[in-house]
Each structure stands twice: as structure tokens, then as C-alpha cells.
Amino acid sequence: MLAILIVVPSVMSSPLSFNNKYLDFTLEYPMEAKYGSIVNYHIHLTALENITINSIRFTVVFIHDRGSTTLFNSTILSSKKLVEGESYERLIQVRAQLNYVPSEPYLKAYVSVNYTSNGEDNLMYLKLTTTIVRSETYEELQDKVRRLEGLEDEVDRLNRQISELRLNLTYLESNLSMALGRYEELRNILKNVSREKLDLLKELIKLTNETGILKAKVNALNEENVRLREELSYQSLHSIEHYQ
């Protein structure tokens, strides 16, 4: 029996391919998956000469902080003859989920292919770390980064607006200070004008009163003048009559 053991490091990218003179084997899987999602394993096998697949056993194990949990373990094909060029495909799905949320989990896959060619039994065994399980996938993290970059751009724009508004505020505060100064100046002028107006009003009232008094005196003098003239005229007339 020819046994082939292949251990694939965790940095290996999907898909994984292996071939010899008997068969060509490919296993496709995602490099990462979101916790709780369905993980697809696609097995593709092609016979490079006439062979008999005695069995293909596939196992998926969830490695986590509390140990390991087998998600899938089954013989997916047995006693299957494949002629040269014939292929076999199988899709296996597992859910990357436990009854609690683990810390930094990942999936490991084990594949054993037992086959016979020209009366000789052969075994191919694969052991590999396939999928890192994350609460957030790399693509989701990239989306977050892009959103954060967009937010940073928005913050920069808002900071520029704040700077402009601060300049405008400084300008308005300066104008307000000047306006307040002018207001105080005008208020003082108004106070002085009001005081002068009050003084002038008092003077006007005083002059009006004095004018009234003077008018009364003038009227009295006019009346006295008229009376004296009438008396003088009467006396003159009486003197003439007496002379005659």
C-alpha cells in the first residue's frame, strides 16, 4: 500500500490541489468565515487512470478555546469505480457555530482517500487548517475601515467648517464690539442732547412766562397811555372853551 500524508500549513490559500499519476484531487474552502455562518467545502476528484475508490472519509473539526468539536465526520463515498477521466464532486456544508461564542476559533479538515489502482491499494491523507472563524470577516472590517475613513473625511470637513465659523465669529465679535462702542457713544450724546433739550425747555418756559408778564405790562402801559391821552385831550378842549 502506498500511503501519502499531506499536512497543509494554515497559511495555505484555498483551493488545495494534489495530484499523482492516479488521481487529481482538489478541495475548495473559504479562508475565513463569519461565526454562525455556513462554510462550504467543495471536493473535486478526477481519475487519471482506471481506479476504484474504496472510501473517502471527510472530517471537519471546530478548534476553539475549550478544545475541539467535530462538526462533520462521515464516509462520503465508498466502492466507487472511476474510469480514466471520470470525476466525482461533493459539496459539504457545516455551520461554524457552537452553544457559546468561542475565542479565536478555526476549522480543520481531515480527508482520507483510500483507492485501488492496478491491484495496488493506496491511501491519500490530508490534514489542514482551512478556515479562520471571526465575529467579523476581513471584508466587513474593510467596510468598517472605509466607513471610518469616510467619517474621518467628514470630521476634516467639519473641522474646516468650524475654523471658518470661528473666523466669522471673531469678525462678528469685533463688529459687535465696535457697534457697542458706537452705541455707548450715541447714548451719551443722546443723554447730553436730552439734558440740553430739557434745559432749553425750561428756558423756553421761563421766557414764555416773562414774555407773558411783559405783554401784560405793555398792555397796561398802553391802556394807561390811552387813558392819559384821553384825559389830556379832554383838558385841552375844556381849556379852549373856557378861553372863549
What string of pLDDT tens digits covers the 244 residues of the chain?
544 444 444 434 468 888 899 999 999 999 999 999 999 999 999 999 999 999 999 999 999 999 999 999 999 999 999 999 999 999 999 999 999 889 889 999 999 999 999 999 999 999 999 999 998 877 877 887 888 888 888 888 888 889 888 988 888 888 888 888 888 888 888 888 788 888 878 888 888 888 888 888 888 888 888 888 878 877 777 777 666 6
pLDDT for 121 equals 94
Distance from the Cα of residue 108 to its chain's centroid: 39
Domains and CATH numbers, the chain: 2-135 (2.60.40.640)
Q: How many CA atoms lie within 13 A of 183 on its CB side?
A: 6
pTM of the predicted model as reported, rounded to 2 decimal places:
0.58
How far apart are alpha carbons 148 and 144 in whole angstroms?
A: 6
Neighbours of 131 (CB within 10 A): 24
pLDDT for 47 equals 97
How far apart are alpha carbons 139 and 146 in whole angstroms?
A: 10
